[in-house]
Structure 1
Amino acid sequence: MTDDATAPNSSRDLNPVPGLPLHDLAGFTHRWVDAEGIRLHAVEGGRPTGPTVVLLAGFPQTWWAWRKVMPGLAERYHVIAIDLPGQGHSERPQGAYDTHTVASRVQAALTALGVSKYWLVAHDIGAWVAFSLALKYEERLHGVALLDAGIPGITLPDSVPTDPDRAWKTWHFAFHLVPELPETLLTGREREYVDWFLKAKTLSPNTFDSAEIDHYAAAIAAEGGLSASLAYYRDAAESARKNHEALERGHLTVPVLGISSSHGSIPDMAASIGPWAKNATGASIPQAGHFIPDEQPDTTAAVLTAFIDHVSAE
């Protein structure tokens, strides 16, 4: 089932998070689709007959993370940005946030949207899901680009470093795993937490303005948002187990682009992904921290376009 939202008070009434402000992006339409029994939010636009590019965001963001990249891609491509389960304006199901389960739901949403084959671009937790999706549905992909992500069992370090110069990049993985404590400390203080992430992990702490921080904090503070955000981390061990189980059957053969940045979390995404993918290449975006699409949107769009053009020409 697919529901379009093209005007106020139309099928926006089907939005499972109605109290959360819904931002519009010129040339794009909000849609909600059934994905294995839950509603996922998608934002679609660009050239209807062009190659499809699917965008997935990570913690603590929503599809809005791609708002600066989407218009540039839309000049040549059919662009779809999806809120993952528990993220933004998608439904917040109870349990099952391992990335293989989530990948199945993302694929179900794309099938409902009539997308047969596509390019997949994903950042942070979105890249966790994208890697698992590529393992499960490689035949549906032209290629996949993964931006600065510690993917469970793949690029995520086995332990959190204790060196303060590095620990700030990954300390939250352990914190989010602790039962109940994050909820106790963060409920009612979601904005302060999101503010720290968006400022500490960008090269320039002025990358995000107050309204953007408010937007992402509100998405996490909305009913079920915090629990869902933490659930991805709490199910990370299961995600890693399923990744390696799938890799025992065969490594990725689809073209993979690992995108790093000058001041990001994973110094060389391509090198980290290389042992698991037969066709992995890399790109590094200068003057950016972890939130690459927000910090360098034009360069991000150019790198993605070059990757798509290169693979398509082969």
Structure 2
Amino acid sequence: MTADAMTPNRSHEQNPVPGLPLHDLAGFTHRWVDAAGIRLHAVEGGRPGGPTVVLLAGFPQTWWAWRKVMPRLGERFHVIAIDLPGQGHSERPQGGYDTHTVASRVQAALTALDVPKYWLVAHDIGAWVAFSLALKYEESLRGVALLDAGIPGITLPDSVPTDPDRAWKTWHFAFHLVPELPETLLTGRERDYVDWFLKAKALSPNAFDDAEIDRYAAAVAAEGGLHASLAYYRDAAESARRNHEALGRGNLTVPVLGISSSHGSIPDMAASISPWVANATGVLIPQAGHFIPDEQPDATADALTAFIDQKRAGQPAVTG
């Protein structure tokens, strides 16, 4: 089946969002697993027995953001893309969207999938979760790659710039925090909102076609999706507090790769996180805006593979 193929939802009992079309990626299988009391959707495939690479996407996307990268990584790695709580076909709880709570749920899902050690790759809000997960579960990680994201309490600024040349990148942080107003303005217009984000923050306005925009907008519009999308921002202060609390016990020692892009939001991811990370390196992906895996999938896969190969060469020979 092709990457664009769509199949009916195969388990209404498992799938917590049965009304949302479920899309297949050749060589990968849909899974739903218990994750600390909620069901998370995972898409699993690649090389059995290879090192495990876990992928987390950000706003306003789903696991589908990695669809172009997964086949490349799957040639050598066991690949699992996870929809975060409230994303895609994962359950949409009313609360618990601070990144430490979400990190616990992601880790619980990976435990349920029998993944003891893994490489974690995350973009945007997914990178918020990944940073907190590394603070809580560093012993489960072989390495972390963070793509174009400011981390709450770490590198995310406390205020939104008012300079129009910069404000367009971060204005939504304050908007999402306002009680009720975003829901009032966005309900029924989710596609317009998603369309703006994908087109404005990509280097090329043609990086996403109408079908892809429809797909992401449908996930946000599905029951509970908009609430969950906003909740990550509304719980960001708690995420920041818990990040600071965890860093009080020590900085990260796991290898971290910061992936920036030529036209993204964070000019140098590695430099931005280096005060809190003992082993940080960086790479710049050219000809890309904020949505690096969509815009430059081959370069993304190459950068991740090089990072994993380099770090594995300096680690004990183990599987997973």
1:9/1:131 Cα in 2 relative to 1: closer, same or farther (>3 Å)?
closer
Identity of aligned residues (%): 88
1:131-153 CA-to-partner distances (Å, cap 9, x unmatched) read 00000000000000000001101
Q: 1:192 deviation in Å?
A: 0.2
Partner residue in 1 for 2:14: 14
* Alpha-carbon distance in 2 for matches of 1:206, 1:41: 29
TM-score when scaled to structure 1? 0.97
1:220/1:312 Cα in 2 relative to 1: closer, same or farther (>3 Å)?
same
1:252-303 CA-to-partner distances (Å, cap 9, x unmatched) read 0000001000000011110110000000011110000000000000000000
Q: 1:12 deviation in Å?
A: 5.1
Q: 1:13 deviation in Å?
A: 4.3
- 2:256 paired with 1:256: yes
Contact 1:128 1:151 in 2 (8 A): yes
Determine helix, strand or coil for the equivalent of 1:14: coil
Q: 1:16 deviation in Å?
A: 0.4
Partner residue in 1 for 2:302: 302
Q: 1:8 deviation in Å?
A: 5.5
Q: 1:155 deviation in Å?
A: 1.7
* Alpha-carbon distance in 2 for matches of 1:99, 1:83: 14
TM-score when scaled to structure 2? 0.95
**What amino acid does structure 1 have at the position aligned with 2:241?**
R
Partner residue in 2 for 1:273: 273
* Alpha-carbon distance in 1 for matches of 2:146, 2:266: 11
1:158-188 CA-to-partner distances (Å, cap 9, x unmatched) read 2110000000000000000000000000000
1:74/1:177 Cα in 2 relative to 1: closer, same or farther (>3 Å)?
same
**What amino acid does structure 1 have at the position aligned with 2:240?**
A
Determine helix, strand or coil for the equivalent of 2:33: strand
**What amino acid does structure 1 have at the position aligned with 2:16?**
P
Note the residue ranges of structure 1 that are not aligned, 5 or more in a row: 1-6
Partner residue in 2 for 1:149: 149
Partner residue in 1 for 2:287: 287
Q: 1:214 deviation in Å?
A: 0.3
Which runs of structure 1 show a deviation greater than 6 angstroms over 4 or more consecutive aligned residues?
none
Contact 1:155 1:269 in 2 (8 A): no
Give the root-mean-square deviation of aligned CA atoms. Answer: 0.9
**What amino acid does structure 2 have at the position aligned with 1:192?**
D
Partner residue in 2 for 1:139: 139
Determine helix, strand or coil for the equivalent of 2:23: coil
**What amino acid does structure 2 have at the position aligned with 1:261?**
S
Aligned ranges 1:1-314 → 2 under 5 Å = 10-11=10-11, 13-314=13-314
* Alpha-carbon distance in 1 for matches of 2:295, 2:60: 15
Q: 1:157 deviation in Å?
A: 1.5
